[in-house]
Amino acid sequence: MWHLTLYPILLRVMWRFGRVLGAVLAYTSLDRCWAYDRSVNDVVHITDICKVLPLINQNIEANGIGPKQRKGASEGFAVAEELEWGKEGYEQVVARLASEPVDWCLAADCCYIDQEGASPSTPHFVRTCALLCGPTTRCLVCFELRSSEVQRVFVEEASKAFNKVERLPPHSLPKPCQVEHILLYELSGSKLKT
């Protein structure tokens, strides 16, 4: 069993929707709180495309949660790793990450449109989430509604890959996150895991 401790983290740069996920985790009422009275004892994998990894590593080091900084500590640590959905070999990276049970899959601002108005990476993104998620994984996906096409593709793909696709209504979120154009979904019951 893993544990999660929520405490303020100093980040040099944090994407807006990462802050939304953090606020949701920090302010969830105790009757719905998934992380209450827990601490991290495992590795937290933070993934992104290659060019963003230096910034993630700076944040990890600034917060004192890197592997070298946490050596000998009873709590876990964080590592940054490249994971670009749709890129050749990405499913092997996902399989390695999912070789141990995944308790949480948190995704911030991962669904967007390209210059042609399509959302070509969304199916790969949803597949990545589904392959990471086991029977008890909590998967939260947060993104800004920039286009109804992004939401349509996301919900369509997520419905193929998960048994439960639920948009959390804005009024159920912490006050700073109650914005109609910020979408927060909970996904569970991966159909891709056997």
pLDDT tens digits, one per residue of 59-101: 888 888 888 887 766 677 889 999 999 999 999 999 999 998 8
For residues 30 and 85, what is the distance between their CA atoms, to the nearest angstrom? 34
Whether 183 is covered by a domain: the verdict is yes
Please count the structural domains in the chain.
1
For residues 153 and 133, what is the distance between their CA atoms, to the nearest angstrom? 20
Domain around 26: 16-190
Structure tokens at 134: 């086991």
Contact 138, 104 (CB under 8 A): yes
106 forms bridges with which residues in the sheet? 140
Whether 132 is covered by a domain: the verdict is yes
Question: What pLDDT is stored for residue 72 in this prediction?
Answer: 62
Give the sheet arrangement for strand 162-167, strand by strand: 104-108, 138-144, 182-190, 162-167
CATH number at residue 128: 3.40.50.150
Whether 133 is covered by a domain: the verdict is yes
Give the predicted TM-score (pTM) of the model.
0.81
What is the 3-state composition of the chain as percent helix, strand, coil, each rounded to the nearest 5?
A: 35, 20, 45
Q: Which residues make Cβ contacts (< 8 Å) with residue 118, sequence separation at least 6?
A: 149
State the sign of the Cα–Cα–Cα–Cα dihedral 80, 86, 88, 92. positive
Whether 4 is covered by a domain: the verdict is no
Whether 169 is covered by a domain: the verdict is yes
Is residue 113's pLDDT more than 90?
Answer: no
